């Protein structure tokens, strides 16, 4: 089935006949290809040995075709909840993240959000979902369980769970409601005179939340601000313009868009007076900052209004719009590129010209062009926004990636919360030596295993040495290396405690203080945040970076 779907795709997107004329009218080429595609599917429907489901098979072809365009152009069939949630940040459900637990063979609650039906009902992270309205969910994938938890706002259902450490199941009657996750889960004064706003997305209302946070911080004495856009994937372009407008004067061009159709060519100007156009501003970014995040940090950089700090951003300079398709579907389609005030487009990936191995090509720095900020500083297009001050995160041992995603790590946090009624406030919480020793013991007893990359590289090197005839004379050295690389979990967990413990604390703090507390906890061990505070305490350096 997959093979003939690929064939359908190939017929759909490539020239189909050897007799096609080089100068064929584009409209004729479209008609010819669609006619061939239609005929092939009809013949498959009639003659193929098995029955075909049209929605499934043609759905595969559509999705495959769009994947060859760019990763942002997507088809959504009728009543698709993902599109509505992506645009508005809203959905109707209970307000919990779930994950699949292999040992239980069931979905479990990963995080109930504060103030939602799940949290108000008493649902906790680690609760194992047994049934939804009497239907056993054992073995169900998480997307199917999530769909069952969602529904029309105001509808009620029974949720049965089993809490770890308890023999008896618990039953909850929960009424679904419209859930809108805050785009600013945390803001506050992080040092006398310095405000902080953590923005996670750009769905409808994001600018309103940032405006409110900024005004409140100013009343609390904020004279400078850190705007955190790290791992913010973006969203609505107009929200990016309005957030930028909070910091720059009315009538300034923030971004312009250019596409094939004239109606996609627009300029977006700030429309209102700013909340504060003078306070020192640092914007934190990383490789997860994309799209609208890049419009905000890039335009503020181009206007010399803020110091951008962190690591280079993702590099998404494309704009999408939603178009109706027949039978109440929607097509999110890339219609234009955007250009920030200096005139640069920061698109990093060339989806139309792939590398020979099929990977997406990236614009090398050597081929980027120089542009200038309002004050004359050099900036470049292509490859995202390069920060004014680069702060790279500490490198992490590969053990951490395997550990944090493991069930043992998740289950330890669940056990900890059952044994401790309260913990210290966010930012002040840490594990005692006894707590960490208990963590190490728990992970070891849980049978956690991990693949060290050094072991993999050593194995490869040994294989090469054998093939090339060096094994006999190098065997002793290899044995010595293998002894040094011996997998001692307890030793590794203690060796890397300073890097592992912040992740354990973050997981635990989320159980008590939810998103807001988790954001605060992360700031307690954040080199980029420390550098931003250092810069804002030295306005001479701040102004020098901005060329003032």
Q: Which residues are catalytic?
A: 291, 302, 316
On whether the CB atoms of residues 284 and 309 are closer than 8 A, the answer is yes
On whether the CB atoms of residues 299 and 324 are closer than 8 A, the answer is no
Give the three-state DSSP class for 253: strand
Q: From the CB of residue 404, how many other CB atoms can be counted at a distance below 10 Å?
A: 15
Residue 26 and residue 24: Cα distance in Å, rounded?
6
Residue with tokens 């706003």: 197
Give the three-state DSSP class for 43: helix
Residue 230 and residue 212: Cα distance in Å, rounded?
20
On whether the CB atoms of residues 328 and 361 are closer than 8 A, the answer is no
Which is it for the CA torsion 518, 523, 525, 526, positive or negative? Answer: positive
Residue 278 and residue 214: Cα distance in Å, rounded?
13
508's tokens: 């635990």
Q: Which residues of 90-108 are buried (b: 16+ CB within 10 A; e: fewer)?
A: bbbbbbbebebbeeeebbb
Residue with tokens 């389609």: 333
Nearest residue to 228 (alpha-carbon basis) of 274, 275, 289, 302: 289
CA distances from 487 to 396, 455, 475 (A): 17, 9, 20
On whether the CB atoms of residues 73 and 320 are closer than 8 A, the answer is yes
Burial of 194 (0-12, 13-18, 19+ CB in 10 A): buried
85 φ/ψ angles, rounded to the nearest 5 degrees: -65, -40
Residue with tokens 């971004």: 255
Strands 281-285 and 307-310: parallel
CA distances from 219 to 214, 248, 465, 508, 533 (A): 9, 19, 68, 32, 20
């Amino acid at each position: 089935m997959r093979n003939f779907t690929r064939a359908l795709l190939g017929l759909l997107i490539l020239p189909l006949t050897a007799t096609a004329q080089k100068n064929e009218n584009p409209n004729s080429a479209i008609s010819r290809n669609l006619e061939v595609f239609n005929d092939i599917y009809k013949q498959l429907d009639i003659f193929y040995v098995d029955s075909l489901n049209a929605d499934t098979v043609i759905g595969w072809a559509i999705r495959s075709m769009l994947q060859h365009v760019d990763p942002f152009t997507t088809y959504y069939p009728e009543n698709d909840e993902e599109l509505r949630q992506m645009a508005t940040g809203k959905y109707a459900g209970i307000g919990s993240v779930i994950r699949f637990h292999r040992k239980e063979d069931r979905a479990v609650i990963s995080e109930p959000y504060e103030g939602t039906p799940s949290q108000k009902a008493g649902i906790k992270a680690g609760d194992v979902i047994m049934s939804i309205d009497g239907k056993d969910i054992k073995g169900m994938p998480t997307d199917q369980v999530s769909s069952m938890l969602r529904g029309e706002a105001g509808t009620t259902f029974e949720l049965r769970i089993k809490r770890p450490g308890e023999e008896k199941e618990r039953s909850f009657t929960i009424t679904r409601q419209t859930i809108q996750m805050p785009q600013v889960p945390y803001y506050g004064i992080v040092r006398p005179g310095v405000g902080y706003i953590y923005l996670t997305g750009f769905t409808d209302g994001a600018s309103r939340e940032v405006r409110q946070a900024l005004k409140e911080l100013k009343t609390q004495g904020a004279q400078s601000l850190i705007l955190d856009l790290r791992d913010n994937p973006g969203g609505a372009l107009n929200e990016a313009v309005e957030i930028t407008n909070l910091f720059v004067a009315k009538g300034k061009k923030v971004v312009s868009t250019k596409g094939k159709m004239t109606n996609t060519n627009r300029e977006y100007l700030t429309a209102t007076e700013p909340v504060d156009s003078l306070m020192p501003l640092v914007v934190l970014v990383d490789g997860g900052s994309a799209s609208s995040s890049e419009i905000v940090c890039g335009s503020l950089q181009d206007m010399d209004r803020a110091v951008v700090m962190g690591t280079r951003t993702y590099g998404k300079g494309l704009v999408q719009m939603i178009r109706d398709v027949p039978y109440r579907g929607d097509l999110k389609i890339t219609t234009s590129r955007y250009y920030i005030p200096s005139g640069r487009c920061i698109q990093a990936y060339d989806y139309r010209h792939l590398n020979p191995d099929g990977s997406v090509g990236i614009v090398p720095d050597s081929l980027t062009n120089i542009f200038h900020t309002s004050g004359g500083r050099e900036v470049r297009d292509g490859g995202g926004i390069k920060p004014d001050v680069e702060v790279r995160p500490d490198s992490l041992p590969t053990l951490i990636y395997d550990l944090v995603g493991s069930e043992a790590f998740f289950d330890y946090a669940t056990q900890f919360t059952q044994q401790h009624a309260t913990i210290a406030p966010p930012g002040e919480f840490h594990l005692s030596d006894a707590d960490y020793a208990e963590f190490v013991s728990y992970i070891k007893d849980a049978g956690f295993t991990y693949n060290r990359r050094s072991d993999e590289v050593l194995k490869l090197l040994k294989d090469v040495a054998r093939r090339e005839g060096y094994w006999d004379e190098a065997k002793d050295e290899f044995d010595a290396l293998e002894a040094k690389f011996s997998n001692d979990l307890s030793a590794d967990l203690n060796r890397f405690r300073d890097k592992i413990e912040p992740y354990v604390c973050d997981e635990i703090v989320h159980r008590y203080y939810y998103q807001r507390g988790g954001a605060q906890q992360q700031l307690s061990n954040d080199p980029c945040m420390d550098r931003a505070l250092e810069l804002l305490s030295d306005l001479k350096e701040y102004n020098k970076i901005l060329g003032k």
